[in-house]
Amino acid sequence: MSVDTVSLTGWGRTAPTTAVRFRPRTYEEAAAVVRGRGPRGVIARGLGRSPGDAAQNAGGSVLDLTGLARIGGVDPAAGVVRCDAGVSLERLLRVLLPQGWLPPVVPATGRLTVGGAIASDLPGLDHRRSGSFARQVSALELLTADGEVRTVLPGTALFDATAGGLGLTGVILGATLRLRRVTTGLMSVSTERAGDLDEVLARFTAGGDGLPYASAWIDLMARGRATGRGILTRGEHAPPHVRPAHAGRTRRFPRSGTPWGRPSSPGLLSGLLSGLPPLPDGLLGPGPAALYNEVRYRGAPRARAGELRPVTAFLHTADAFPEANPLYGRGGTVRYRFTVGDGQEETLHRAVRRIAARRSPAVRAVLERFGAADPGLLSFAAPGWSLALDLPAALPGLARFLDGVDEEVAAAGGRVCLAKDSRMRPETAAAMYPRLAEFRELRARLDPTGAFRSDLSRRLGL
């Protein structure tokens, strides 16, 4: 097992803190770290893709699970696969898709681990059909504060606290995931351009439930009558008889272990920016950002249906985008994601208007629609609308501005995503997550000495 002392941040690269990082190769090594933890405790970490401070532990231990990455064989009768928690979704899909299987919940990036996906109970583009990630877990192995490994099953209190529990109930070592059978590695995709936020919402509800996967890019820099304009993209798995024009050369599934469906590029700017080092003040001022958004909006078809795209190009849209730092500068990036319920569209409108009025350089903003709430005590998704956006952390007055949006979201019964957070106030988090008391109670019983701690848990009093 390798051990080093490192400065860690989340993907947003804000608020670095130093911890001793352990990289276990076996379950026994992981258990030894938990048993031998110091007074500042320990937290699990996957690929560090959560944008905030959830996988950091200042002055304590961080258990990097990426060395535990075995994938078992698919059980075709049960439609499940068993894998270690440190396996990345990207690799899992590369192994599963050529066999005609896919995890039902796939986020916008493949560069995160199964453990991280369960611990943040992340929703995918088909939340209305599949729920969040942990809903597709049929069992998991959890290393708890006493150093023991327990098999935890859905429907139990420990499972519900671990799904979305941000590593605070223990270390997920492995999981059994339910899979979906797919007959091709292609998606049939429809795209529509909508002139303002009302039109985006109307198009979502008019046709969104017909096709299982749906999201919209929102132009958060457009103002006036165009405020909240966007591009709605929906998709479904293409059946075997639907073939692209170049069908003769297109495989129904990618070969195992080969590049298989490069993510589609959202535009010229992203191509130019990928690989650039961070710029001192960030590249994107309001002018270039507005131009980028204009080009992206105008470049989208008004309406197009039946376009065939590789599954990963369609689902892992974020992987086509450059890393945030070249765009947003050395100060790092704040990802803000909130949800408000059906009937609370006015809150969504107000938030979009407020962001647009600020003329912040927002180029990444994604609107999704969630279905039934998930059972996890701290799971984020709840029926209604979710908006996720990235902003440069160095924007003057950003924290106060987002505190104000938090208040509106909380007043409307909505919530901000904890797995992405790096700045929320503890009282706001408590107001947004009514089952937090239950979560704290379970943790106090399971882990009375507070073995599992993170910068996030200390900041928000989880």
Ligand X SMILES: Cc1cc2nc3c(=O)[nH]c(=O)nc-3n(C[C@H](O)[C@H](O)[C@H](O)COP(=O)(O)OP(=O)(O)OC[C@H]3O[C@@H](n4cnc5c(N)ncnc54)[C@H](O)[C@@H]3O)c2cc1C
Nearer to ligand X, 188 or 386 (CB): 386
| CA torsion through residues 160, 334, 390, 320, sign | negative
Stretch that binds ligand X, among 41-49, 149-157, 198-206, 293-301 (CB under 6 A): 41-49
- Candidate list 23, 37, 49, 94; residue touching ligand X; CB under 6 A: 49
- Cα dist from 267 to 220, 314, 320, whole Å: 17, 15, 9
Stretch that binds ligand X, among 25-33, 116-124, 199-207, 282-290 (CB under 6 A): 116-124
String of contacts with ligand X for each residue 218-247, x by CB under 6 A: ------------------------------
Q: Provide the minimum distance between the beta carbon of 401 and ligand X in the complex, in angstroms, as a whole number.
A: 22
- Rounded Cα distance between 226 and 56, Å, is 40
Q: Provide the minimum distance between the beta carbon of 340 and ligand X in the complex, in angstroms, as a whole number.
A: 16
- Candidate list 45, 94, 203, 415; residue touching ligand X; CB under 6 A: 45
Task: Say whether 59 sits in a helix, a strand or coil.
Answer: coil
Nearer to ligand X, 189 or 222 (CB): 189
Stretch that binds ligand X, among 39-47, 176-184, 246-254, 274-282 (CB under 6 A): 39-47
- Candidate list 15, 34, 172, 363; residue touching ligand X; CB under 6 A: 172
Q: Distance between the two ends of the chain, CA-based, in angstroms?
A: 30
Does position 44 interact with ligand X (CB under 6 A)? The reply is yes
Q: What is the DSSP string of 62-94?
A: EEEGGG---EEEEETTTTEEEEETT-BHHHHHH
String of contacts with ligand X for each residue 286-325, x by CB under 6 A: --------------------------------x-------
Q: Which amino acid is at 414?
A: G
Q: Provide the minimum distance between the beta carbon of 255 and ligand X in the complex, in angstroms, as a whole number.
A: 26
Stretch that binds ligand X, among 120-128, 194-202, 217-225, 430-438 (CB under 6 A): 120-128
Q: 170-191 b/e with 16+ CB inside 10 Å = b?
A: bbbbbbbbbbbebebbbbbbbb
Q: Which amino acid is at 362?
A: A
Give the DSSP H or E segment for 96: helix 89-96
Does position 179 interact with ligand X (CB under 6 A)? The reply is no
Q: Provide the minimum distance between the beta carbon of 242 and ligand X in the complex, in angstroms, as a whole number.
A: 26
Nearer to ligand X, 63 or 289 (CB): 63
29 DSSP assignment: H
Using CB under 6 A, which residues numbered 393 to 422 contact ligand X?
A: 419
Q: Provide the minimum distance between the beta carbon of 166 and ligand X in the complex, in angstroms, as a whole number.
A: 4
Q: Which amino acid is at 329?
A: G
**What strand order describes the sheet that includes 365-370?**
303-310, 186-194, 230-237, 213-218, 365-370, 384-392, 333-340, 415-416
List the structure tokens of 4. Answer: 């080093």
Residues 6+ apart with CB under 8 A from 147: 31, 32, 34, 35
Does position 46 interact with ligand X (CB under 6 A)? The reply is yes
Using CB under 6 A, which residues numbered 54 to 83 contact ligand X?
A: 54-55, 65
Give the DSSP H or E segment for 181: strand 180-181
Stretch that binds ligand X, among 74-82, 108-116, 144-152, 401-409 (CB under 6 A): 108-116
Q: Provide the minimum distance between the beta carbon of 248 and ligand X in the complex, in angstroms, as a whole number.
A: 34
- Give the chain's radius of gyration (CA, Å): 21
- Candidate list 102, 112, 158, 182; residue touching ligand X; CB under 6 A: 112
Q: Provide the minimum distance between the beta carbon of 449 and ligand X in the complex, in angstroms, as a whole number.
A: 18
Specify whether the CB–CB gap between 366 and 454 falls below 8 A.
no
List interacting residues with ligand X (CB under 6 A). Answer: 11, 43-51, 54-55, 65, 85, 107-109, 112-113, 115-117, 119-120, 122-123, 166-167, 171-172, 318, 419, 454
